[in-house]
Every structure is written in structure tokens, then in C-alpha cells.
């Protein structure tokens, strides 16, 4: 068996709202700059590192999550566009909104097994340029692929968030309060420069497009977006977005004293497809059970904020209170509600945020961080990291 995998570099693009900032950039053009940036971070240059990593190690693979791209193995196309050699392959992972985090787990497994020594992993999504798909013989494109077959629940994500809010008693007032918190935290983090080191500027843009000041009165006036008389609105939901994020993963011996995030354990689980937002709960519980770690020991938690209702249902179940006692632990610099939600990338964005909150902030070795995402169709993805 190989050694523990360690994330030693992490970068992301600014996140743009679909149809706006990056509306003309294909998914490989979003992914390539962050692949190049994490390798440049490893060799200490301002230029792409080609196929080489720390101490001359070769890049063994590029593993990227993607949901709605054109096919053709997005990871391989992005690796070539980033300037990596022809010998570097690529693997594209589709676990929908968990794809970016799942890709990091796949890369970590290869390193832990001793089958790879340097893997770039993450995710990318260009909702703006994603192809429209049509069933053979149909006259119009279909809105999305099925998340479950006939005979199983297969709700769209908005109605599913409404169902989760109703099932677990997450009211409109708390959802709006959490949305305001996410935007306020993201704006404060930007002002303090906490995003600067992780963002790779794209076409001259170095800031996320979406974060803005939100007023309680303005949010309260918004109508329900998905279900009549519901609680989920455009204001407490994440937008459809474009963006990419990537990390570099090496075994412990190649870390060579470089600070990083050691991947302790990961889990992917299924749950009721009628309530897909619940997925992080069993995934996190499985990771904690496998490692014997109590959640109270985890200093930083990053959950993909698809909907405020979903985050609050999950944190309630886990005994976390992001609007109170755990304000500084859960998505402390805001999340997808404020930054945006590029589906295939968003699971890698939360790992990049953990890297910024813990490694770049010089947290003590052994400090624990948790990343998690819910997935359409009824899945949860989670990973536990510790500062190395």
C-alpha cells in the first residue's frame, strides 16, 4: 500500500453566473488555467509546470468532475490545453453536484494505493456552453437527464429542496437569514483578501461575480421559486454558474515539508432520491464513524450551499448551528449561495476553501476539516482532511 495522500496546492477560478462573465468559455478553457496554476504552485514558478511536479515527479493523471460538458473526456482535453504532455491521461467523473469532490477522492485512492505519485484533481463546469441534448426523434431538447429510473422519485432540485425544508422544519426566515450570512461572509472574505491566493484570474476577472449585500426586507419580498406558497426562493438558492477548481495530490514522502491537507477518509453514500439534499448527513456520519472522529473536533466544515434549506436541514441533523454557535465553523467565508454553484466543480471548490481556511491560514498540524456535497438522485459525498 502507498502513503496517505496530501493536497499540497489548491486553486479555483472566479465563479461566474451562467450567461454572464464566462459565457463564451468552454469547460476545458475554464479548467486548464487552474490545472496549470496548481502545478506552478508546486514548482514555485509563475508559469505552468508542464508535466512535472515536486522534485521532478511526473503528473500521473488529471481527474476532473463534470456534469454537463460536451463529452470527449473533458479531463484529457483540459490537461492538453494546460500544456501537459501527451503521456498524461485524464479521467472525467460524473457524480453530478458531488463530481469535483468525488474526483478528489478517486485521485486520493490512486495515491494511497501506490499507483500514482502526483495527480491533479478537481472539477469544472460551463453551464453557459453546455450542449443541449435531444432524444433521437424529438423536436426539442430535454431539460436534464434522469437522476433515477421510472418507478423512483426524480424531483428537480428546487422542489426537492422544498420537500426537505418541509420534512425537517426549516422555515423561510432561517433560510433567508442563512442566505444573508453567506453573502455577507463572502463579501467580508473578499475585502480581507482571503480569496486572493486561491483565485486564478480568468479573462481579467479576479473576483466572484455574485456576492452582494442582501437586505432582509428585499429577500422577504421574493416569491417562492419552485412550489406555490413555498419557502425556497431565488434569494435563498444558489445560481447556475460557471467555474473550475483543482488540487494537486501527492503521497506523504513527496510533500517534502510543504504544508497541506492530508486526506484522512472519504465516503459516497446513497439516500432517498426524493430528498437528495439529505445525502451529506449519512456521508458525513460514515466518514466520522470510520475514523472515530467526533464532529466537535472538526474545526472547519464546508458544505456545498445548493439551497439554504438544504444546508440547514443537514446542519440541524448533525447538531451544527451555523446561525449561532457554529458561525465560524460552517462555510465561514460564505459558500455557493454567494459564490455560485458550478455543478461539476463545486465539490472541488469546497476543498479549495478548506485549503485556504486551514493551510493558507497556518492552522496547526492535525487541525481537521470536513467537505461535503449533496447530489441529485439521492447521494452524499464527504471527505475528512487534516492539516499536515
271 is catalytic: no
Q: Tell me if residue 97 is catalytic.
A: yes
Neighbours of 178 (CB within 10 A): 24
105 three-state secondary structure: helix
Does residue 53 share a domain with residue 164?
no
In a shared domain, residues 105 and 11: yes
Beta bridge partners of 375: 379
Q: Please answer whether residues 170 and 309 qualify as being in contact, where contact means their C-beta atoms are separated by less than 8 angstroms.
A: yes
- Identify the three-state secondary structure at position 195: coil
State the total domains in the chain.
2
- pLDDT tens across the length of the chain (388 residues): 579 999 999 999 999 999 999 999 999 999 999 999 999 999 875 554 455 555 456 899 999 999 999 999 999 999 999 999 999 999 999 999 999 999 999 999 999 999 999 999 999 999 999 999 999 999 999 988 999 999 999 999 999 999 999 999 999 999 999 999 999 999 999 999 999 999 999 999 999 999 999 999 999 999 999 999 999 999 999 999 999 999 999 999 999 899 999 999 999 999 999 999 999 999 999 999 999 999 999 999 999 999 999 999 999 999 999 999 999 999 999 999 999 999 999 999 999 999 999 999 999 999 999 999 999 999 999 999 999 9
Which residue in 67, 86, 97, 331 is the catalytic one? Answer: 97
- Which residues 6+ apart lie within 8 Å of 386 measured at CB? 261, 262, 264, 365, 366, 367, 368, 369
Q: Which domain holds residue 327?
A: 157-193+263-387
CA distance 152 to 272: 9
* Residue 205, pLDDT score: 96
Question: Annotated catalytic residue: which of 183, 271, 331, 341?
Answer: 341
145 inside domain? no
Q: Considering the domain boundaries, does residue 337 fall inside one?
A: yes
> In whole angstroms, what separates CA 385 from the centre of its chain?
15
- Domain containing residue 87: CATH number: 3.40.47.10
Residue of 95, 94, 91 lying closest to 116 (CA atoms): 91
Distance CA 11, CA 359 (A): 13
Please tell me whether residues 253 and 267 are part of one structural domain.
no
- In-domain check, residue 320: yes
The answer to whether 94 and 83 are in contact (CB under 8 A) is no
C-alpha span between 87 and 69 (Å, rounded): 23
CA distance 51 to 71: 24
**Alpha helix segments (H runs only) across the chain:** 27-43, 74-81, 99-112, 157-168, 172-192, 216-221, 252-255, 280-291, 308-318, 336-339, 346-354
Closest among 33, 12, 23 to 81, alpha carbons compared: 33
Instruction: For CA atoms 158, 162, 168, 169, give the dihedral sign.
Output: positive
Which residue bears the cell 479555483?
12
Dihedral of CA 230/235/240/246: which sign? negative
The answer to whether residues 100 and 167 belong to one domain is no
Cα–Cα distance, 308 to 331 (Å, whole number): 12
Radius of gyration of the chain (CA): 19
- Considering 262, 297, 321, which residue would you say is the last residue of a domain? 262
Based on the domain organization, do 284 and 258 belong to the same domain? no
pLDDT, averaged across the chain: 95
Predicted local distance difference test score (pLDDT) of residue 2: 72
- Residues 83 and 92: their CA atoms lie apart, in Å, by 18
* CB-side neighbour CA atoms (13 Å) of 289: 7
Q: 238 in helix, strand or coil?
A: coil
Amino acid at each position: 500500500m502507498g502513503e496517505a495522500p496530501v493536497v499540497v496546492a489548491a486553486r479555483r477560478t472566479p465563479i461566474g453566473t451562467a450567461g454572464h462573465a464566462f459565457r463564451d468559455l468552454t469547460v476545458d478553457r475554464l479548467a486548464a488555467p487552474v490545472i496549470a496554476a496548481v502545478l506552478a504552485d508546486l514548482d514555485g514558478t509563475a508559469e505552468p509546470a508542464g508535466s512535472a511536479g515536486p522534485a521532478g515527479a511526473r503528473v500521473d493523471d488529471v481527474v476532473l468532475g463534470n456534469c454537463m460538458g460536451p463529452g470527449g473526456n473533458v479531463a484529457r482535453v483540459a490537461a492538453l490545453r494546460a500544456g501537459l504532455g501527451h503521456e498524461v491521461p485524464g479521467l472525467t467523473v460524473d457524480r453530478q453536484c458531488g463530481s469535483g469532490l468525488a474526483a478528489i477522492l478517486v485521485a486520493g485512492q490512486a495515491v494511497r494505493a501506490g499507483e500514482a505519485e502526483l495527480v491533479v484533481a478537481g472539477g469544472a463546469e460551463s453551464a453557459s456552453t453546455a450542449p443541449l441534448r435531444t432524444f433521437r426523434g424529438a423536436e426539442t431538447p430535454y431539460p436534464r437527464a434522469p437522476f433515477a429510473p421510472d418507478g423512483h422519485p426524480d424531483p428537480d432540485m428546487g422542489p426537492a429542496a422544498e420537500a426537505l425544508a418541509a420534512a425537517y422544519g426549516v422555515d423561510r426566515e432561517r433560510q433567508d437569514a442563512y442566505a444573508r450570512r453567506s453573502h455577507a461572509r463572502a463579501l467580508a472574505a473578499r475585502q480581507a483578501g482571503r480569496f486572493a491566493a486561491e483565485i486564478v484570474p480568468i479573462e481579467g476577472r479576479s473576483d466572484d461575480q455574485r456576492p452582494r449585500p442582501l437586505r432582509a426586507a428585499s429577500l422577504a419580498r421574493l416569491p417562492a421559486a419552485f412550489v406555490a406558497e413555498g419557502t425556497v426562493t431565488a434569494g435563498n438558492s444558489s445560481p447556475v454558474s460557471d467555474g473550475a477548481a483543482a488540487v494537486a495530490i501527492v503521497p506523504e514522502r513527496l510533500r517534502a515539508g510543504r504544508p497541506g491537507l492530508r486526506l484522512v477518509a472519504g465516503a459516497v453514500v446513497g439516500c432517498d432520491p426524493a430528498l437528495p439534499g439529505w445525502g451529506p448527513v449519512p456521508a458525513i456520519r460514515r466518514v466520522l464513524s470510520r475514523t472515530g472522529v467526533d464532529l466537535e473536533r472538526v474545526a472547519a466544515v464546508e458544505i456545498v450551499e445548493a439551497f439554504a434549506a438544504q444546508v440547514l436541514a443537514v446542519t440541524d441533523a448533525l447538531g451544527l448551528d451555523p446561525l449561532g454557535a457554529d458561525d465560524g465553523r460552517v462555510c465561514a467565508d460564505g459558500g455557493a449561495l454567494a459564490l455560485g454553484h458550478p455543478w461539476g466543480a463545486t465539490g472541488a471548490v469546497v476543498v479549495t476553501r478548506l485549503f485556504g481556511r486551514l493551510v493558507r491560514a497556518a492552522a496547526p498540524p492535525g487541525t481537521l476539516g470536513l467537505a461535503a456535497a449533496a447530489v441529485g438522485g439521492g447521494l452524499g459525498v464527504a471527505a475528512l482532511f487534516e492539516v499536515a
